[in-house]
Structure 1
């Protein structure tokens, strides 16, 4: 899987259209570049169709939501569907507010998504319309662990079936499913939760790999989540070795993405198929 996905990325590096948030937009752009693709950040409603038309994939992230960008997201998503391009959704903080819930519902009703990526609280809020009191962070009761892994897998498979797309539920254990295939990914490090943007960067990587592998959406998603987690492990080892902190961790994280290759993935990936 890894070799094919990497080969496609190197031979056909995608142009990744991001409509994302202003907190992590620079991180998203840099991680896309680090992976070997090209980022394009454009959210004006008057140009999104033109930008989608020259892109290979669309990444929608609702982190800093407003009414103007929602309309641009819908317009871009419909154009991407028309062109048969992968569309990735990161429903950041869904469940935290009425605006967020209504906006994400509108996006899902009007756009066919290839992948939805979020933490377990966001995925639950998406599926049940329940309130998510944790904001953008996963609630403690929703953490994926070995005790609730079977229950979590079954639930996420239901979500995948409902929305007819691949679901990536991220956490200490990541779960990726297309309702039939399931991969558990145990890469990553606690330090990743100490800086802003790691979730958004993971979404950008999903878009990047899907952009070059639109017929292998599930495998591309598994690879993207694995690359992000493994890069976090490598970055953590660096800061421990050099007695450095969170600022250096962010830099080393992007470094690790840029240096990721088949050998590193083969040796470091912790993936279990179910």
Structure 2
């Protein structure tokens, strides 16, 4: 994948305006909806048992986010996920805080077991804990570990048979055979709640228009990181509130020229067993 293809997928999102069905957490609902609109997608937040199967079936992708768990919401996720699987709609999972409590970990693993998950995105601790590996987590934030994140991402992708996106200082996107290492983004993203959750939904927007889900996820993460860098250049000195508003602007404005100029990533084949 080259920079031209990334820009082409961004334009495809804007041209096709895909419906992205989000069953997400209450902290990020408004931010996610506004950012998807700015990017060019069409967000819908539908949670009721009575309609989630129908909504998921007509969507371009389904995003499941366990940030604020309730038993009835988990049931909605299962209903929607099974409907999406039946209709060939890609399901993207954000296992927010997996490893922090037994309930979160069990819920994330249940979703992985009962549904066909196309892409799973999280920080290193969340991804490790979903896969049954040890990694410290503080609330919903990854703790420190001496383990290699690249090796973790590849091994989990192979084990779960899904695209794995581990995001952090550098972002690793892999299907277990090939991988992208993406160097875009800005530290101020960590000062605005919901930026990781939003990234998962942005992956959903790209997955709705591109069947090669490794390519879709890598293009989404790169586009997101470039927009964040430009937003930070314009607003970081004013603080995270100004950055959040400018980030919405840049998701709307980011274009091929800026992707060509600012995107930085590596693509490599995986030789790990």
Report the TM-score when normalising by structure 2.
0.93
Residue of structure 2 aligned with 1:248, choices 224, 242, 248 = 242
Deviations 1:10-63 (A, max 9, x none): 332210000000001111111110110100001111110111122111000000
Q: Considering only aligned residues, what root-mean-square deviation do their CA atoms show, in Å?
A: 1.4
Residue of structure 1 aligned with 2:188, choices 173, 191, 195 = 191
Aligned position for 2:215? 219
Instruction: Supply the distance in 2 between the matched residues of 1:220 and 1:83 (Cα, whole angstroms).
Output: 19
Q: Rate the CA distance shift 1:131–1:187 in 2: closer, same or farther, 3 A.
A: closer
Matches within 5 A, 1:1-16: 1-16=5-20
Number of residues of Structure 1 aligned to a counterpart in Structure 2: 264
Aligned position for 2:94? 90
Instruction: List alignment gaps of at least 5 residues for structure 1.
Output: 143-147
What's the CA shift for 1:169? 0.2
Answer whether contact 1:9 1:212 (CA < 8 A) is retained.
yes
Matches within 5 A, 1:226-265: 226-240=222-236, 243-265=237-259
Answer whether contact 1:183 1:273 (CA < 8 A) is retained.
yes
Residue of structure 1 aligned with 2:25, choices 2, 21, 26 = 21
Residue of structure 2 aligned with 1:119, choices 123, 131, 149 = 123
Residue of structure 1 aligned with 2:264, choices 262, 265, 270 = 270
Answer whether contact 1:94 1:132 (CA < 8 A) is retained.
no
Residue of structure 2 aligned with 1:33, choices 19, 24, 37 = 37
Answer whether contact 2:14 2:39 (CA < 8 A) is retained.
no
Q: Secondary structure of the equivalent of 1:141?
A: coil
Deviations 1:227-252 (A, max 9, x none): 22112211111124xx4121111001
Aligned position for 2:203? 206
Instruction: Supply the distance in 2 between the matched residues of 1:34 and 1:7 (Cα, whole angstroms).
Output: 13
Instruction: Supply the distance in 1 between the matched residues of 2:207 and 2:198 (Cα, whole angstroms).
Output: 14
Answer whether contact 1:187 1:270 (CA < 8 A) is retained.
yes
What's the CA shift for 1:268? 0.8
Q: Rate the CA distance shift 1:68–1:185 in 2: closer, same or farther, 3 A.
A: same
Residue of structure 2 aligned with 1:103, choices 107, 117, 124 = 107
Answer whether contact 2:54 2:83 (CA < 8 A) is retained.
no
After the TM superposition, list the runs of 4 or more consecutive aligned residues in structure 1 that deviate by more than 3 angstroms.
Answer: 129-133
Instruction: Supply the distance in 1 between the matched residues of 2:15 and 2:40 (Cα, whole angstroms).
Output: 10
